[in-house]
């Protein structure tokens, strides 16, 4: 095996990993957009359904942790906090189901923080693309900053109604998908530069 082939294989692996990460980001953006559409079409029902699903997951997970604590004899392990974590999880799950309709504000903050996080990941990607000399980095940065602005709006606008949040999520999802596809199109350019180095 030649030296060029040895270098090429890790670079090809990097390219595959970049594409996998980018497609995962596309799926995340698509989920945001779909969730936004549900909030626009059925705002009240969607919030309640999400609260019930989240509550059920927390309750089931909490019960599992409590049972697991006694099964593995966690009381003999000073670092095992499964009992406390399980009880808290069950209580939070019950609260989420009981106050499902009033959970909209908490829900808004969680969605907003998620949108901000996704935008910051893309800002980081654009900076790395700039360092790699890829020309589209500025477009991805602009897209990321637009997503960041929408995320901040959703997080801190207490007067934002659920449907408005839905529209913001749809817009964020579309912007994210466009940015991610632009990144995928540049993966070969990035791997070519790595091979030359």
Q: What is the torsion angle, in degrees rounded to the nearest 10, for the CA atoms of residue 36, residue 38, residue 41 and residue 42? A: -120
pTM > 0.75: yes or no? no
Tally of domains within the chain: 1
Question: Tell me: the pLDDT tens digits for 113-162?
Answer: 888 888 898 898 888 888 878 778 888 899 889 889 988 988 887 766 77
DSSP 84-120: HHHHHHHHHHHHHHHTGGGGHHHHHHHHHHHHHHHHH
Contacts of 92 (CB under 8 A, 6+ apart): 55, 58, 62
Question: Tell me: the pLDDT tens digits for 37-71?
Answer: 988 888 778 878 878 887 898 899 899 888 887 87
Is the sign of the CA dihedral 97, 111, 180, 175 positive or negative? positive
Domain that holds residue 18: 3-196
Q: Which of 18-22, 119-123, 180-184 has the lowest mean pLDDT?
A: 18-22
């Amino acid at each position: 095996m030649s030296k060029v082939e040895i270098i090429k294989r890790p670079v090809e692996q990097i390219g595959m990993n970049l594409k996998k990460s980018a497609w995962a980001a596309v799926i995340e953006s698509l989920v945001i957009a779909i969730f936004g559409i549900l909030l626009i079409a059925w705002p009240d029902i969607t919030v309640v359904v999400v609260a019930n699903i989240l509550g059920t997951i927390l309750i089931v997970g909490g019960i599992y942790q409590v049972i697991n604590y006694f099964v593995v004899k966690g009381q003999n392990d000073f670092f095992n906090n499964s009992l406390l974590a399980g009880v808290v999880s069950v209580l939070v799950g019950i609260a989420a189901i009981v106050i499902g309709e009033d959970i909209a504000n908490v829900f808004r903050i969680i969605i907003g923080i998620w949108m901000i996080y996704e935008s910051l990941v893309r800002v980081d990607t654009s900076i790395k693309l700039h360092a790699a000399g890829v020309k589209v980095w500025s477009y991805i940065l602009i897209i990321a900053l637009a997503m960041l602005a929408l995320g901040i709006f959703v997080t801190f606008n207490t007067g934002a109604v659920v449907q408005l949040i839905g529209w913001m999520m749809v817009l964020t999802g579309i912007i994210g998908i466009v940015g991610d596809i632009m990144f995928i199109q540049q993966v070969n350019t990035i791997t070519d530069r790595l091979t030359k180095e």
